[in-house]
Structure 1
């Protein structure tokens, strides 16, 4: 007999599935389940395994064409076996486990096993170096590490030795001095928890990607992500039995969003297509071959996909979404022309699940990321008065006790208090709302800038720039100017085969001139590879810092690959 908490969770899930294409009713009728004790791996995943034991839960396609697939029943059994073995190695409730694995079966096995044990998972990307790991081990107060044999050498870094920490070493693959993960295969599979899991017990500690500062340590509970991602399931439109593909690297919150909780909440299949290097054609071929129903990718991937001939593939995709950064309208239009489906935008953060989105079956307005998703009350706060406004900082109203929100920044009570001030969670993002409740993203509070006393949204200018066929990616920042204080400057990554010369620069600046009002006009550009975080987000702060370091430019000095309006007669006002 399912526990009352499990029944409450299932009822909330089923309501969202039933109202998948009726956003007004879903927003009005959905309420977060009130849970006291809840363990998602035991109460939901294992129950799903009992209900549909032979349904594929995980399918991994590797670069060499080999595949691995596990059913819900196989993963339930295997994670129980691993949980028993980990407990025998000293992993107990509340212990912090640094989990640094690639997209491989052991990642999902360990995630489920840790949840069953009540351990706290610290996801980590394999791209981290020794100094990054030292920071996570120390600030995360790590007690146990699970990683691949190939990554174990990183833990010999002097910065890690200096922390003086003592933690259990578990390796997937044999390494001297490390416990061998494969020994868990000899353990009994029947798992019994040592007691109930409180719904508000900590489950996840995420180090944010740090686009502007040192990574923050975000804490989530057994409710906030497992249950909170009902909103993500609803936004994407995942239904039971779907094959869901999400392009995301382990170690980041979006991986948990769409490679663990949202699809498995719906009892769908998680599909992984591993690639040593991104290959649009191979990915599209696998989407067609594997029968993908729902597909999520960050804007960077969508921008690379439209460089391919999308119309050459007959894809079975029913629902397509983008997250991580705002999706440019030009990308949406190109996918619509090729496949006849609309890529739907959405908004969320490591600190939350999906807050705002365009769910299936609803009108998608160009440039808008949608409306508040069920369970969220969104307020746009005027930065001066602190009152609700038509344009302002996007905030989550705390009065409705939104389940899908972090408990706080684990390493900073001051930062938590600042984020949760005035009865609202402050996202740090600026947006506007129209009369029908549709919200349009403007930019990070750190990214929006003034030029000639006008407020400029980098995203709006970037969306125009990538419409030009020569532009693959763009990032706009203020460039110091002795007259205007600052002017918009675009750093441009060109499409393959395009020359970074003056003719290309003139064409792009001319295009911007034609499609932007004068005060928003891009007046300088520089051809460059855009700096990004290891999670793939553009670091505009780094570009802005480079411009600030130059100071007001009086002598017209240029960087290599940099062009100004003044260089092209006829473009300058």
Structure 2
């Protein structure tokens, strides 16, 4: 998937944050039975402890109902209204199969007359589950929810969490320790967090910069902020002082929630910013551990009996569906990071398309490799799996180890898996057979970050009998285009438009619809998952929304069957000898060479051809930047590319990147243009096609 999130190895290193945690350890080899985790019986609970949560949930829903029933637009075929509810067979057992059940709310209702926001959302979700292997039917008949008021944490998560002891979040550490949290427990924890944050002064509309690693507090605080009606600004823990200051100032943040390793980098932010630390808090910081007040993981504590502990929460008002929920800073591949605004509908509801693309079903165990702070983490480690009522699995590690990851996937019974190309390329260098046949649970595999080259896809298919399905989206949207489950996959193609998205390819010169052009979305019938806009850049917002369309800036082609293939960023595509060149196509060939770890292709000014392709190469381990290596790479490219696409110049270099790991080709283009001001000049270390007579043979 080509999207605005992350795909660099540095981002995938999900080191555990500091701070006290209670862990349930699995001794190596001692906690497994027949290849699956030993089942642990949950202790009996006094059901009275659940009543306050249910009472507060009822009150929250009453507030949302007060504005009248929401609407649902879209086709009203009676067959679609009978889409089944889903139940999970076996509490917390990811190896069992989700089974459809009949609706639990009395007689059948037409989807145009739902009772509340929850039913509206559920009807749309269940429709996609029903048509999970028929992308044409799912896209053509998707009943788009039209919601006036909606709070995903209250109207969806708390509803499915009521009395639900199935695992919602499963965090596994590199040392073998782990934590599991049920849906009911996450609802209670987030209620408690919301009450405490309210006591700290967090109010509806306040903006919170959230900088945490993969720990339970990340998810519970996100849910709590939603319930409060606050606005979350996710940020990676890799940010430096200047970047943090930029996010606080441009995001107009009033509150900052960070882990102990981040706190020393903050310096003097000035202003009235509430500083909260999750873990060992520096002097002057508020301690998030006070929110627990002897919470349910502590010894000798009983919820609703221990003084100060309560799982009740009542919202102060209904949440408008159009209220701002998230502000995301993009990775800034061409300029400073853009500030993307999403609402309580655009991301939570919009990610029904992402759920559909990945193929997540109720009861699944879903593993996504991405780091908090980037949009892909919210896509695939929050909304898509919990929309489906699945388990989110997190594996924290300090340094990527393919064998260790495969072992955990087998042990935990992962059913759906999404990873960026960097991870897939490292996985195929290990023994993929370590996963094959371990539990037979893995059903869907997806690629995210940028399109995968065919060699990787084929190696995984041979080893696992599964095809990595590609897709496309951005920080500004949810998943727009994808190869859905059970659909024929064309090599190199991103797939077809996903439910809720009507994709147009517009010629960048004429603006007319074409078989090749910029990927655009009509604003007259804007998709649910489309951003509100760029919060602090009105000129840029007007630019990307010109002519009645949202312009993604990405160029693609569409074949006769409707499959869309990524060409490149509109500002990356260039002409050489009047031929249109897609850097991605050339880079996909180059990275197949064993000496190439990463590649970036840009136009190099040429007096005869106007421009020629130049490749900047980051070498793989144990390869040297010699003329012999350059010859081998250029020869491989010659043998696998059309003559007009041949790489004519090559340099070995460290590639400039954004903090999220995306290559900044704009820097390479500027560097190359500057180096060519003297047409006779030759940059140091550059190899040229004509340097090697053997290439002409």
Tell me, yes or no, whether TM beats 0.5.
Answer: yes
1:458-478 C-alpha deviation (Å, 9 max, x unpaired): 011111112223323221111
Q: Distance in 2 between matches of 1:413 and 1:498?
A: 47
Report what 1:326 is aligned to. 451
Answer whether contact 2:590 2:599 (CA < 8 A) is retained: yes
Could you tell me which of 219, 223, 238 is aligned with 2:360?
A: 238
- For residues 115-126 of structure 1, what are the structure 2 equivalents within 5 Å? 115-126=226-237
1:41-94 C-alpha deviation (Å, 9 max, x unpaired): 11111111126x111111111222221111111110000000000001100100
1:170-193 C-alpha deviation (Å, 9 max, x unpaired): 111222101000000124211110
SS of the equivalent of 1:150 reads coil
Could you tell me which of 358, 382, 393 is aligned with 1:271?
A: 393
Q: Is 2:125 aligned against 1:16?
A: no
Could you tell me which of 476, 482, 490 is aligned with 1:365?
A: 490
Answer whether contact 1:330 1:463 (CA < 8 A) is retained: no
Answer whether contact 1:304 1:472 (CA < 8 A) is retained: no
Q: Is 2:661 aligned against 1:532?
A: no
Q: Distance in 1 between matches of 2:262 and 2:501?
A: 40
Structure with greater helix share of residues: 1
Runs of 4+ that moved beyond 6 A: none
Kindly report the root-mean-square deviation, in angstroms, between the aligned alpha carbons of the 2 structures: 1.6
Higher RCO, 1 vs 2 (CA within 8 Å, ≥6 residues apart): 2
Q: Distance in 1 between matches of 2:573 and 2:373?
A: 28
Report what 1:178 is aligned to. 285
1:347-380 C-alpha deviation (Å, 9 max, x unpaired): 0000000000001000100111000001110010
SS of the equivalent of 1:169 reads strand
- 488-497 vs 513-522, which moves further: 488-497
Report what 2:574 is aligned to. 449
1:129-149 C-alpha deviation (Å, 9 max, x unpaired): 111111111110001000012
Q: Distance in 2 between matches of 1:279 and 1:527?
A: 26
Q: CA deviation at 1:556?
A: 6.1
Answer whether contact 1:481 1:553 (CA < 8 A) is retained: no
Answer whether contact 1:303 1:472 (CA < 8 A) is retained: no
SS of the equivalent of 1:75 reads helix
Q: Distance in 1 between matches of 2:635 and 2:476?
A: 40
Q: Distance in 2 between matches of 1:556 and 1:542?
A: 19
Could you tell me which of 164, 181, 190 is aligned with 1:79?
A: 190
Q: Is 2:159 aligned against 1:47?
A: yes
Q: CA deviation at 1:572?
A: 4.5
Answer whether contact 2:407 2:434 (CA < 8 A) is retained: no
Q: Tell me: CA distance 1:312–1:499, structure 2 relative to 1, closer, same or farther (3 Å).
A: farther
Could you tell me which of 191, 203, 210 is aligned with 2:325?
A: 203
- For residues 72-221 of structure 1, what are the structure 2 equivalents within 5 Å? 72-156=183-267, 160=269, 164-173=270-279, 174-186=281-293, 187-221=309-343
Q: Distance in 1 between matches of 2:287 and 2:353?
A: 38
Report what 2:626 is aligned to. 501
Q: Distance in 2 between matches of 1:533 and 1:459?
A: 18
Q: Distance in 2 between matches of 1:178 and 1:570?
A: 66
Q: CA deviation at 1:552?
A: 5.1
SS of the equivalent of 1:149 reads coil
Q: Tell me: CA distance 1:546–1:572, structure 2 relative to 1, closer, same or farther (3 Å).
A: farther
SS of the equivalent of 1:190 reads coil
Q: Distance in 1 between matches of 2:555 and 2:523?
A: 18
Report what 2:23 is aligned to. none
Q: CA deviation at 1:565?
A: 1.3
1:283-334 C-alpha deviation (Å, 9 max, x unpaired): 1221112111111111122122222232343264210111222222222112
SS of the equivalent of 1:338 reads helix
SS of the equivalent of 1:369 reads coil
Could you tell me which of 598, 614, 617 is aligned with 1:492?
A: 617
SS of the equivalent of 1:399 reads coil
Q: Distance in 1 between matches of 2:459 and 2:630?
A: 24
- 397-406 vs 10-19, which moves further: 397-406
- 322-331 vs 199-208, which moves further: 322-331
- 101-110 vs 58-67, which moves further: 58-67
- 468-477 vs 252-261, which moves further: 468-477
Could you tell me which of 391, 402, 408 is aligned with 2:533?
A: 408
- 140-149 vs 284-293, which moves further: 284-293
SS of the equivalent of 1:559 reads coil
Q: Distance in 2 between matches of 1:108 and 1:86?
A: 14
Report what 2:687 is aligned to. 563
Q: Distance in 1 between matches of 2:593 and 2:337?
A: 34
Could you tell me which of 418, 422, 426 is aligned with 1:296?
A: 418
Q: Normalising by the residue count of structure 2, what TM-score does the alignment of the two structures yield? A: 0.79
Q: Distance in 2 between matches of 1:334 and 1:472?
A: 17
Q: CA deviation at 1:455?
A: 1.3
Report what 1:253 is aligned to. 375
Which has the greater radius of gyration? 2
- For residues 333-412 of structure 1, what are the structure 2 equivalents within 5 Å? 333-412=458-537
Q: Distance in 2 between matches of 1:406 and 1:59?
A: 30
Q: CA deviation at 1:550?
A: 0.6
5+ residue gaps, structure 1: none
Q: Distance in 2 between matches of 1:151 and 1:508?
A: 42
